[in-house]
Amino acid sequence: MRSGELARTAGVTVRALRHYHQVGVLDEPPRTHNGYRRYGVRDLIRVLRIKRMAALGIPLDRMRPLLDDPGHDGAALLDRLDAELAAEIDRLSERRRHIARIRAEGAAPDTPPELARFLARFADAYPSPGLAGFDRDQSVLLAHLADETAMPEVARLYERLSSPDLLPAMVALNVRFDALDAGTAPEDRDAFVDDFTSALAPVVQEIAGAPSGLADASDLLGAYSADVLNATQRRALEMISERFAALSGHRP
């Protein structure tokens, strides 16, 4: 058999045969006088064995002992492969659970599943879709930085901010914050800071500060704010931070 006939009979490609030769699981047969490789039935059987082991997930670089040594015990290799598959199934199952949570909330695919429900509440309440972008960006960053102990605290904070008794006020404040710019009068900016601090002070006292597992979040969130917020918005956030620091008895 030539390589094309062997490939068709075995159900593989000629390119796969060349790869088997390159990695050393299939010896190259002698060539005929006109330069063609000539394969026999034993080569076909070996390719079928390679194909079966590959279907189980056995890497080509682990096949040679199994192919060449009839007495080789593959039990340990199969045990290892089974453990790897079990771990992969667990990962895929967890991914499906995350997808289900995000779909159920109608949230964007890049939304952290732990926060999807709360972000969806804000997105539904905002008068325009663009207002949800800043919230989603912050949530992606927080979810990445949060460790296992911090994520439940972050979720609890988002749950509180999106609760029915607080959501309308938060949406209105976020709309006002989005409107702050260089043309905003200082007294209007200060009024926003007053209203925001008054609305959030009970939550700050209830949550008792930032989650402990977010040591790197403050600097990165500050850098993100510097990139996307204007000077008036940044100053308003600084003032709010100073107010909350004073409420908690810490320096800003």
Q: Tell me which residue range forms the domain holding 91.
A: 73-105
**118 and 232 share one domain:** yes
**98 and 146 share one domain:** no
CATH code for the domain in which residue 16 is found: 1.10.1660.10
Structural domain count of the chain: 3
> pTM higher than 0.75 for the full model?
no
**21 and 46 share one domain:** yes
- Residue 150: its pLDDT value, please? 79
**14 and 63 share one domain:** yes
Task: Give the pLDDT band (50/70/90) at residue 216.
Answer: low
| Paired strand residues for 37 | 31
Contact yes or no for 173/192 (Cβ under 8 A): yes
**94 and 36 share one domain:** no
Residues 6+ apart with CB under 8 A from 76: none
**137 and 242 share one domain:** yes
The whole-angstrom separation of Cα 102 and Cα 114 is 9
Task: Give the pLDDT band (50/70/90) at residue 110.
Answer: confident
**238 and 208 share one domain:** yes
With b for 16 or more beta-carbon neighbours within 10 A and e for fewer, the 233-249 pattern comes to bebbbebbeebbeeeee
CA nearest to 17, candidates 31, 41, 37:
37
Q: How many CA atoms lie within 13 A of 134 on its CB side?
A: 18
**35 and 86 share one domain:** no
Is residue 101 scored above 80 in pLDDT? yes
Is residue 247 scored above 80 in pLDDT? no
**84 and 61 share one domain:** no
Contact yes or no for 30/38 (Cβ under 8 A): yes
**90 and 49 share one domain:** no
